Structure 1
Amino acid sequence: MKIAVLIARVLLGLIFVVFGFNFFFHFIPMAQPAMSPQATAFSGGLYGSGYFFQYMKVIEIVSGLFLLINRYTALFILALFPISLNIFLFHTMLAPAGIPVGAAVIILNLFLGIAYFKYYKSIFTAQPTV
Protein backbone atom coordinates (compact mmCIF):
# COMPACT_ATOMS: atom_id res chain seq x y z
CA MET A 1 0.00 0.00 0.00
CA LYS A 2 2.84 2.40 0.82
CA ILE A 3 4.32 1.98 -2.65
CA ALA A 4 0.95 2.55 -4.33
CA VAL A 5 0.45 5.73 -2.29
CA LEU A 6 3.97 6.89 -3.17
CA ILE A 7 3.39 6.27 -6.88
CA ALA A 8 -0.02 7.98 -6.83
CA ARG A 9 1.35 10.97 -4.89
CA VAL A 10 4.30 11.43 -7.24
CA LEU A 11 2.15 10.98 -10.36
CA LEU A 12 -0.46 13.49 -9.19
CA GLY A 13 2.25 15.92 -8.12
CA LEU A 14 4.02 15.63 -11.47
CA ILE A 15 0.79 16.09 -13.43
CA PHE A 16 -0.03 19.32 -11.65
CA VAL A 17 3.53 20.70 -11.63
CA VAL A 18 4.20 19.93 -15.29
CA PHE A 19 0.86 21.15 -16.64
CA GLY A 20 0.85 24.12 -14.28
CA PHE A 21 4.27 25.28 -15.51
CA ASN A 22 3.29 24.48 -19.09
CA PHE A 23 0.49 27.03 -18.81
CA PHE A 24 3.05 29.77 -18.15
CA PHE A 25 6.02 28.59 -20.25
CA HIS A 26 4.45 26.53 -23.09
CA PHE A 27 7.20 23.89 -23.25
CA ILE A 28 4.81 21.08 -24.23
CA PRO A 29 3.10 21.79 -27.54
CA MET A 30 -0.55 20.96 -27.06
CA ALA A 31 -3.04 21.18 -29.88
CA GLN A 32 -6.49 22.26 -28.73
CA PRO A 33 -9.05 19.59 -29.58
CA ALA A 34 -12.36 20.68 -31.02
CA MET A 35 -14.59 21.82 -28.17
CA SER A 36 -18.31 22.27 -27.89
CA PRO A 37 -19.68 25.83 -27.71
CA GLN A 38 -20.33 25.30 -23.99
CA ALA A 39 -16.73 24.21 -23.39
CA THR A 40 -15.45 27.21 -25.34
CA ALA A 41 -17.70 29.53 -23.33
CA PHE A 42 -16.57 28.00 -20.04
CA SER A 43 -12.87 28.23 -20.92
CA GLY A 44 -13.36 31.72 -22.29
CA GLY A 45 -14.95 32.80 -19.04
CA LEU A 46 -12.05 31.46 -16.98
CA TYR A 47 -9.47 33.12 -19.24
CA GLY A 48 -11.56 36.25 -19.63
CA SER A 49 -11.71 36.90 -15.89
CA GLY A 50 -8.08 37.96 -16.14
CA TYR A 51 -6.99 36.23 -12.95
CA PHE A 52 -8.76 32.93 -12.33
CA PHE A 53 -6.79 30.61 -14.60
CA GLN A 54 -3.46 32.05 -13.50
CA TYR A 55 -4.47 31.74 -9.83
CA MET A 56 -5.59 28.14 -10.34
CA LYS A 57 -2.32 27.21 -12.08
CA VAL A 58 -0.27 28.68 -9.22
CA ILE A 59 -2.30 26.57 -6.77
CA GLU A 60 -1.67 23.52 -8.97
CA ILE A 61 2.09 24.16 -9.07
CA VAL A 62 2.44 24.80 -5.34
CA SER A 63 0.24 21.84 -4.42
CA GLY A 64 2.06 19.55 -6.85
CA LEU A 65 5.44 20.57 -5.45
CA PHE A 66 4.30 19.85 -1.90
CA LEU A 67 3.02 16.43 -3.01
CA LEU A 68 6.40 15.71 -4.58
CA ILE A 69 8.34 16.65 -1.45
CA ASN A 70 5.75 14.94 0.80
CA ARG A 71 5.05 17.91 3.05
CA TYR A 72 1.54 18.89 4.18
CA THR A 73 0.33 16.20 1.81
CA ALA A 74 -3.13 15.74 3.35
CA LEU A 75 -3.79 19.50 3.09
CA PHE A 76 -2.73 19.73 -0.54
CA ILE A 77 -4.73 16.66 -1.52
CA LEU A 78 -7.77 18.55 -0.25
CA ALA A 79 -6.68 21.72 -2.06
CA LEU A 80 -6.38 19.84 -5.35
CA PHE A 81 -9.67 17.96 -5.06
CA PRO A 82 -11.94 20.75 -6.38
CA ILE A 83 -9.54 21.32 -9.27
CA SER A 84 -9.40 17.59 -10.03
CA LEU A 85 -13.18 17.33 -9.87
CA ASN A 86 -13.58 20.25 -12.27
CA ILE A 87 -11.05 18.75 -14.69
CA PHE A 88 -12.98 15.48 -14.61
CA LEU A 89 -16.41 17.11 -14.97
CA PHE A 90 -15.23 19.48 -17.72
CA HIS A 91 -13.95 16.57 -19.80
CA THR A 92 -16.93 14.36 -18.99
CA MET A 93 -19.59 16.95 -19.79
CA LEU A 94 -18.01 19.42 -22.21
CA ALA A 95 -14.89 17.98 -23.87
CA PRO A 96 -15.08 14.17 -23.99
CA ALA A 97 -11.75 13.80 -25.81
CA GLY A 98 -9.97 14.43 -22.50
CA ILE A 99 -11.90 11.92 -20.39
CA PRO A 100 -8.88 9.60 -19.86
CA VAL A 101 -6.81 12.44 -18.38
CA GLY A 102 -9.71 13.70 -16.28
CA ALA A 103 -10.45 10.20 -15.01
CA ALA A 104 -6.80 9.58 -14.13
CA VAL A 105 -6.55 12.83 -12.16
CA ILE A 106 -9.75 12.24 -10.16
CA ILE A 107 -8.90 8.58 -9.49
CA LEU A 108 -5.43 9.49 -8.21
CA ASN A 109 -6.87 12.26 -6.04
CA LEU A 110 -9.62 10.03 -4.61
CA PHE A 111 -7.15 7.22 -3.96
CA LEU A 112 -4.87 9.58 -2.05
CA GLY A 113 -7.85 11.02 -0.17
CA ILE A 114 -8.77 7.53 0.99
CA ALA A 115 -5.15 6.69 1.84
CA TYR A 116 -4.83 9.85 3.97
CA PHE A 117 -8.34 9.61 5.45
CA LYS A 118 -7.04 9.19 9.01
CA TYR A 119 -5.98 12.85 8.85
CA TYR A 120 -9.52 13.93 7.92
CA LYS A 121 -11.48 11.95 10.52
CA SER A 122 -11.77 14.84 12.95
CA ILE A 123 -13.38 17.02 10.26
CA PHE A 124 -16.38 14.67 10.22
CA THR A 125 -17.16 15.05 13.94
CA ALA A 126 -20.89 15.85 14.21
CA GLN A 127 -20.70 17.77 17.49
CA PRO A 128 -17.17 18.90 18.25
CA THR A 129 -16.29 19.92 21.77
CA VAL A 130 -14.04 22.81 22.52
Structure 2
Amino acid sequence: MKIAVLIARILLGLIFVVFGLNFFFPFIPKQPMPTGAAGAFSGGLYGSGYFFQYMKVLEILSGLFLLANRYTAFFLLVLLPISLNIALYHTILAPAGAPIGISIIVLNVFLCIAYIKYYSSVFTAKPTV
Protein backbone atom coordinates (compact mmCIF):
# COMPACT_ATOMS: atom_id res chain seq x y z
CA MET A 1 0.00 0.00 0.00
CA LYS A 2 2.84 2.40 0.80
CA ILE A 3 4.29 1.98 -2.68
CA ALA A 4 0.90 2.59 -4.34
CA VAL A 5 0.44 5.76 -2.26
CA LEU A 6 3.97 6.93 -3.12
CA ILE A 7 3.41 6.35 -6.84
CA ALA A 8 -0.02 8.03 -6.79
CA ARG A 9 1.30 11.01 -4.80
CA ILE A 10 4.25 11.56 -7.13
CA LEU A 11 2.12 11.08 -10.24
CA LEU A 12 -0.55 13.51 -9.07
CA GLY A 13 2.09 16.02 -7.97
CA LEU A 14 3.84 15.83 -11.34
CA ILE A 15 0.58 16.22 -13.26
CA PHE A 16 -0.30 19.41 -11.41
CA VAL A 17 3.22 20.88 -11.51
CA VAL A 18 3.69 20.17 -15.22
CA PHE A 19 0.28 21.41 -16.36
CA GLY A 20 0.40 24.36 -13.97
CA LEU A 21 3.80 25.46 -15.29
CA ASN A 22 2.63 24.89 -18.86
CA PHE A 23 0.04 27.64 -18.37
CA PHE A 24 2.76 30.22 -17.61
CA PHE A 25 5.55 28.79 -19.79
CA PRO A 26 3.91 26.94 -22.69
CA PHE A 27 6.10 23.94 -23.52
CA ILE A 28 3.29 21.55 -24.47
CA PRO A 29 1.62 22.48 -27.79
CA LYS A 30 -1.74 24.14 -27.19
CA GLN A 31 -4.89 22.56 -28.52
CA PRO A 32 -7.37 24.76 -30.35
CA MET A 33 -9.93 26.46 -28.15
CA PRO A 34 -12.95 24.18 -27.72
CA THR A 35 -16.28 25.12 -29.21
CA GLY A 36 -19.83 24.88 -27.89
CA ALA A 37 -20.47 24.62 -24.17
CA ALA A 38 -16.84 23.72 -23.43
CA GLY A 39 -15.65 26.82 -25.27
CA ALA A 40 -18.18 29.04 -23.51
CA PHE A 41 -17.12 27.68 -20.12
CA SER A 42 -13.40 28.06 -20.84
CA GLY A 43 -13.92 31.48 -22.37
CA GLY A 44 -15.78 32.68 -19.30
CA LEU A 45 -13.03 31.51 -16.97
CA TYR A 46 -10.28 33.01 -19.15
CA GLY A 47 -12.32 36.17 -19.55
CA SER A 48 -12.48 36.75 -15.80
CA GLY A 49 -8.84 37.81 -15.95
CA TYR A 50 -7.79 36.16 -12.69
CA PHE A 51 -9.27 32.69 -12.36
CA PHE A 52 -6.79 30.60 -14.35
CA GLN A 53 -3.74 32.39 -12.94
CA TYR A 54 -4.98 31.81 -9.39
CA MET A 55 -5.88 28.17 -10.07
CA LYS A 56 -2.56 27.39 -11.80
CA VAL A 57 -0.55 28.90 -8.93
CA LEU A 58 -2.54 26.67 -6.54
CA GLU A 59 -1.88 23.66 -8.77
CA ILE A 60 1.88 24.31 -8.90
CA LEU A 61 2.14 24.98 -5.17
CA SER A 62 0.03 21.95 -4.25
CA GLY A 63 1.90 19.72 -6.70
CA LEU A 64 5.25 20.77 -5.25
CA PHE A 65 4.07 20.03 -1.72
CA LEU A 66 2.82 16.60 -2.84
CA LEU A 67 6.19 15.88 -4.43
CA ALA A 68 7.99 17.01 -1.25
CA ASN A 69 5.55 14.99 0.91
CA ARG A 70 4.84 17.99 3.12
CA TYR A 71 1.33 18.95 4.30
CA THR A 72 0.09 16.28 1.90
CA ALA A 73 -3.32 15.76 3.51
CA PHE A 74 -4.03 19.50 3.40
CA PHE A 75 -2.98 19.97 -0.22
CA LEU A 76 -5.00 16.92 -1.29
CA LEU A 77 -8.05 18.78 0.02
CA VAL A 78 -6.97 21.93 -1.82
CA LEU A 79 -6.69 19.94 -5.06
CA LEU A 80 -9.93 17.99 -4.62
CA PRO A 81 -12.32 20.65 -6.04
CA ILE A 82 -9.87 21.35 -8.87
CA SER A 83 -9.63 17.63 -9.65
CA LEU A 84 -13.40 17.25 -9.55
CA ASN A 85 -13.86 20.20 -11.90
CA ILE A 86 -11.27 18.76 -14.32
CA ALA A 87 -13.02 15.38 -14.28
CA LEU A 88 -16.50 16.87 -14.77
CA TYR A 89 -15.34 19.25 -17.51
CA HIS A 90 -13.69 16.45 -19.46
CA THR A 91 -16.47 13.92 -19.01
CA ILE A 92 -19.40 16.29 -19.68
CA LEU A 93 -18.15 19.15 -21.86
CA ALA A 94 -15.04 17.78 -23.61
CA PRO A 95 -15.25 13.95 -23.61
CA ALA A 96 -12.02 13.51 -25.56
CA GLY A 97 -10.08 14.30 -22.37
CA ALA A 98 -12.20 12.07 -20.12
CA PRO A 99 -9.43 9.51 -19.41
CA ILE A 100 -7.08 12.12 -17.95
CA GLY A 101 -9.88 13.81 -16.01
CA ILE A 102 -11.06 10.54 -14.51
CA SER A 103 -7.47 9.51 -13.75
CA ILE A 104 -6.85 12.73 -11.84
CA ILE A 105 -9.95 12.40 -9.66
CA VAL A 106 -9.25 8.70 -9.03
CA LEU A 107 -5.69 9.50 -7.91
CA ASN A 108 -6.90 12.32 -5.67
CA VAL A 109 -9.69 10.27 -4.05
CA PHE A 110 -7.34 7.28 -3.60
CA LEU A 111 -4.84 9.50 -1.81
CA CYS A 112 -7.56 11.12 0.33
CA ILE A 113 -8.64 7.64 1.40
CA ALA A 114 -5.02 6.69 2.12
CA TYR A 115 -4.68 9.78 4.35
CA ILE A 116 -8.15 9.43 5.92
CA LYS A 117 -6.80 9.35 9.48
CA TYR A 118 -5.75 12.99 9.12
CA TYR A 119 -9.33 14.02 8.32
CA SER A 120 -11.05 12.35 11.28
CA SER A 121 -11.40 15.58 13.27
CA VAL A 122 -13.10 17.28 10.33
CA PHE A 123 -15.92 14.73 10.48
CA THR A 124 -16.79 15.39 14.16
CA ALA A 125 -20.58 15.84 14.41
CA LYS A 126 -20.55 18.17 17.44
CA PRO A 127 -17.17 19.84 17.80
CA THR A 128 -16.34 21.55 21.08
CA VAL A 129 -14.11 24.52 21.68
Using structure 1 for the length normalisation, give the TM-score: 0.96
- Segments ≥4 residues shifted beyond 6 Å: none
Q: What CA distance in whole angstroms lies between the structure 2 residues aligned with 1:32 and 1:98? A: 13
Give yes or no for the alignment of 1:31 onto 2:31. yes
Shift of 1:5: 0.3
Shift of 1:32: 3.1
Give yes or no for the alignment of 1:110 onto 2:109. yes
Q: What CA distance in whole angstroms lies between the structure 1 residues aligned with 2:53 and 2:39? A: 18
1:1-130 correspondence runs (5 A): 1-32=1-32, 35-130=34-129
Q: Deviation string for 1:92-115 (max 9, x for gaps)?
A: 110000000001100000000000
Q: What CA distance in whole angstroms lies between the structure 2 residues aligned with 1:124 and 1:24? A: 37
Q: Deviation string for 1:51-106 (max 9, x for gaps)?
A: 00010000000000000000000000000000000000001110000000001100
Q: What CA distance in whole angstroms lies between the structure 2 residues aligned with 1:46 and 1:36? A: 14
Q: What CA distance in whole angstroms lies between the structure 1 residues aligned with 2:30 and 2:104? A: 18
Q: Tell me which amino acid in the other structure corresponds to 2:49.
A: G
Q: Tell me which amino acid in the other structure corresponds to 1:83.
A: I
Shift of 1:36: 4.2
For structure 1, list consecutive stretches of 5 or more residues without a partner in the other structure: none
Q: Secondary structure at the match of 2:32?
A: coil
The sequence identity of aligned pairs, in percent, is: 74
For structure 2, list consecutive stretches of 5 or more residues without a partner in the other structure: none
Q: Tell me which amino acid in the other structure corresponds to 2:43.
A: G
**Residues paired across the two proteins, number:** 129
Shift of 1:28: 1.2
Shift of 1:40: 0.4
Using structure 2 for the length normalisation, give the TM-score: 0.97
